[in-house]
């Protein structure tokens, strides 16, 4: 019974961060599954988190779609090429030793923390349109971003958002909304790859998503109340990510 409760609580924590800060929370899914829920195999944790992250992203995607923040042509082109990359990345990830994979994951977490600290205010082209020249940048960027997402079993929003901005010059609001199309697709591709290999704990994934729904709703309300303090909250969360990454690296090297 306790692992089930911890799975719901873990999902709630991820949803809370996503609702409060608008990104970054899914990077905690694998550490929570490993060290709080008690999933022993890193590959099982990655496969299970991929399912949970994909479903959570889909829910948030529907909300953003209603708000009209998604640049669909750019998002779809990025997601399709990235899904192929995610399948390639997942194949590599499953072939890597679990402890080495955790060490690489810790390095990726440091990247998340740095990315959150460097996030810039909204700027860019609000009327961006896909063109052959833009697609030539967008498609390879999506593929390699998807590879990283599939390899680490994470949503990859911290890579997708800057990738979309760099390739298209779209504004941050559109990049966040459009990134959810890719996060959903990347997570689904990664989850399918791991599920095919029997590396998903479906019950835990379902409980994680359930907790994420409650945490996300609460986080959105808190985010509205603390809108003026999001910069400070982001810095605090980035610091927490650095501490968690250090612990994972220490466990992987021990």
Both ends of the chain: CA-CA distance in Å? 30
Question: pLDDT value at position 238?
Answer: 80
Domain limits, the chain: 2-253
Least confident of 15-24, 62-71, 151-160, 193-202: 15-24
Condensed to tens digits (0 to 9), the pLDDT of residues 81-110 reads 999 999 999 999 999 998 898 898 888 888
Residue 122 has pLDDT above 70, yes or no: no
Average pLDDT, the chain: 86
Give the model's pLDDT for residue 120: 67
Within 8 A by CB and 6+ apart from 7, the residues are 33, 37, 204, 207, 208, 211
Nearest to 106 by CA among 57, 152, 148, 159: 152
Q: How distant is the alpha carbon of residue 34 from its chain centre?
A: 17
The Cα 146–Cα 201 span in angstroms is: 23
**C-alpha dihedral sign at 183, 188, 194, 198:** positive
Provide the pLDDT for residue 21: 66
Q: Phi first, then psi: give them for residue 126, nearest 5 degrees.
A: -75, -20
CA distance 93 to 147: 10
pLDDT digits (tens, 9 = 90+) for 189-241: 999 999 999 999 999 999 999 998 888 788 777 766 776 676 777 787 788 88
CA 30 – CA 21 distance, rounded (Å): 19
Check pLDDT > 80 for residue 154.
no
**pLDDT over threshold 90, residue 37:** yes
Instruction: Please give the DSSP secondary-structure letter assigned to residue 119.
Output: P
């Amino acid at each position: 019974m306790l692992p089930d409760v911890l799975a719901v609580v873990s999902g709630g924590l991820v949803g809370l961060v996503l609702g409060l800060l608008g990104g970054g929370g899914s990077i905690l899914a694998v550490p929570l599954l490993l060290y709080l829920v008690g999933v022993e195999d890193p590959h099982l944790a990655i496969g299970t988190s991929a399912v949970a992250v994909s479903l959570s992203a889909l829910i948030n995607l529907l909300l953003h779609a209603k708000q009209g923040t998604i640049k669909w042509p750019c998002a779809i082109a990025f997601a399709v090429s990235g899904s192929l990359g995610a399948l390639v990345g997942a194949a590599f990830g499953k072939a890597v030793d679990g402890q080495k994979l955790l060490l690489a994951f810790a390095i990726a977490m440091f990247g998340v923390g740095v990315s959150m600290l460097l996030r810039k205010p909204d700027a860019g082209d609000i009327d961006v349109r896909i063109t052959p020249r833009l697609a030539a940048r967008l498609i390879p960027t999506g593929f390699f971003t998807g590879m990283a997402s599939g390899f680490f079993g994470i949503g990859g929003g911290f890579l997708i958002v800057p990738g979309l901005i760099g390739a298209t010059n779209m504004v941050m609001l559109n990049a966040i909304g459009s990134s959810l199309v890719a996060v959903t697709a990347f997570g689904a591709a990664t989850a399918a790859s791991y599920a095919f290999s029997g590396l998903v704990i479906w019950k835990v994934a379902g409980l994680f998503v359930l907790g994420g729904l409650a945490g996300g709703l609460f986080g959105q309300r808190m985010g509205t109340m603390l809108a003026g303090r999001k910069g400070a909250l982001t810095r605090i969360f980035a610091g927490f990510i650095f501490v968690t990454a250090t612990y994972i690296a220490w466990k992987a090297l021990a």
